[in-house]
């Protein structure tokens, strides 16, 4: 309830900010302002403030709403960056670079499917303004990093409830060809609804929806839901992020 109230007041606050901009002379004034990362600076500021508020309000205990499974639909295929090459499912491996060792360890889809299977019906929200309820199944990234302790310098497991001091602060993921990439802070990565997902609406993922493995993290916009994960690596600073480079909020929370 509190989280919802905060979200509402945040929206109202941002709405007021935009109304204020309109009062100052509207779009003409706005578009005469210098650009920052491809968008007029005042809007960039609103996006930044949105990002800061969203991380300030983020709690590991906050969950994205879940829906009745009967409401699940197939989303449109949106965004194909990094999916150009044909995928050979038998040859695919998830490559994870250890934070401490720097060594790359390879995993098969069966390794991921051997972890507890989590199912959830959540909303996929795109920054373009549409959203679809989808039933997902996959393994928690937190379970993966507890089983394969690659996110700490010392090699101890990353318990999300009691994070070790030497846990990497960020994780970055890329498609096998490196064309699409996202960064997440480690709190978001270890969130219980952040899944290495291999099924959509009860069926294995299709190539266009990210087969064999995609990220699903429903507290964030679709831009972070990387399809066809190739590599995972950890970092001390914000990993590069495809849409953040084009001017969108790096956190992309909603």
Ligand X SMILES: Nc1nc2c(c(=O)[nH]1)N[C@H]1C(S)=C(S)[C@@H](COP(=O)(O)O)O[C@H]1N2
Binding site for Mo ion (CB under 5 A): 126, 222
Judged by CB under 6 A, which of 175, 188, 193, 194 binds ligand X?
175
Q: Closer to ligand X at the Cβ: 82 or 212? A: 82
**Cα–Cα distance measured from residue 224 to residue 179, given in angstroms and rounded to the nearest whole number:** 14
The tokens for 128 are 């373009």
Residue 137 C-beta: closest distance to Mo ion, Å: 21
Give yes or no for residue 47 binding ligand X (CB under 6 A). no
107: left (phi over 0), alpha (psi -120 to 50) or beta: beta
Judged by CB under 6 A, which of 43, 54, 82, 219 binds ligand X?
82
Give yes or no for residue 81 binding ligand X (CB under 6 A). yes
39-47, 55-63, 98-106, 219-227 -> range binding ligand X (CB under 6 A) = 219-227
What does 175 interact with, of Mo ion, ligand X, none (CB < 5 to 8 A by kind)?
ligand X
Give residue 51's Cα distance to chain centre: 14
Q: Closer to ligand X at the Cβ: 191 or 209? A: 209
Give yes or no for residue 99 binding ligand X (CB under 6 A). no
Residue 36 C-beta: closest distance to ligand X, Å: 21
Give yes or no for residue 217 binding ligand X (CB under 6 A). no
2-10, 16-24, 74-82, 153-161 -> range binding ligand X (CB under 6 A) = 74-82
What does 44 interact with, of Mo ion, ligand X, none (CB < 5 to 8 A by kind)?
none
Q: Closer to Mo ion at the Cβ: 222 or 239? A: 222
**How many other CB atoms sit within 10 Å of the CB of residue 199?**
16
Which residues in the 124-153 window bind ligand X by CB under 6 A?
126
Q: Closer to ligand X at the Cβ: 49 or 87? A: 87
CA distances from 62 to 188, 191, 219, 221 (A): 11, 9, 9, 16
The tokens for 6 are 């905060």
Give yes or no for residue 8 binding ligand X (CB under 6 A). no
Count the site residues for ligand X by CB under 6 A: 19
Interface residues with ligand X (CB under 6 A) are: 75-83, 126, 175, 180, 209, 222-223, 225-228
């Amino acid at each position: 309830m509190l989280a919802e109230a905060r979200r509402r007041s945040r929206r109202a606050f941002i709405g007021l900010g935009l109304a204020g901009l309109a009062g100052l002379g509207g779009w003409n004034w706005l578009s005469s302002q210098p650009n920052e990362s491809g968008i007029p600076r005042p809007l960039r500021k609103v996006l930044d403030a949105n990002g800061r508020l969203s991380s300030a309000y983020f709690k590991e205990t906050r969950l994205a709403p879940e829906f009745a499974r009967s409401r699940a639909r197939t989303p449109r295929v949106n965004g194909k960056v990094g999916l150009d090459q044909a995928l050979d499912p038998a040859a695919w491996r998830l490559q994870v670079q250890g934070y401490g060792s720097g060594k790359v360890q390879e995993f098969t889809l069966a390794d991921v499917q051997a972890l507890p299977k989590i199912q959830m019906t959540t909303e996929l929200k795109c920054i373009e303004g549409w959203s679809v309820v989808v039933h997902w199944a996959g393994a928690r990234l937190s379970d993966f990093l507890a089983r394969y302790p690659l996110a700490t310098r010392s090699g101890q497991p990353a318990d999300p409830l009691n994070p070790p001091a030497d846990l990497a602060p960020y994780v970055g993921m890329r498609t096998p060809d490196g064309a699409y990439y996202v960064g997440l802070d480690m709190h978001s990565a270890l969130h219980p609804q952040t899944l290495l997902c291999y099924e959509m609406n009860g069926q294995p993922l299709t190539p266009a929806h990210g087969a064999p493995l995609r990220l699903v993290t429903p507290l964030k916009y679709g831009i972070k839901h990387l399809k066809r994960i190739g590599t995972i690596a950890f970092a001390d600073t914000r990993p590069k992020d495809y849409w953040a480079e084009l001017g969108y909020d790096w956190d992309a929370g909603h």
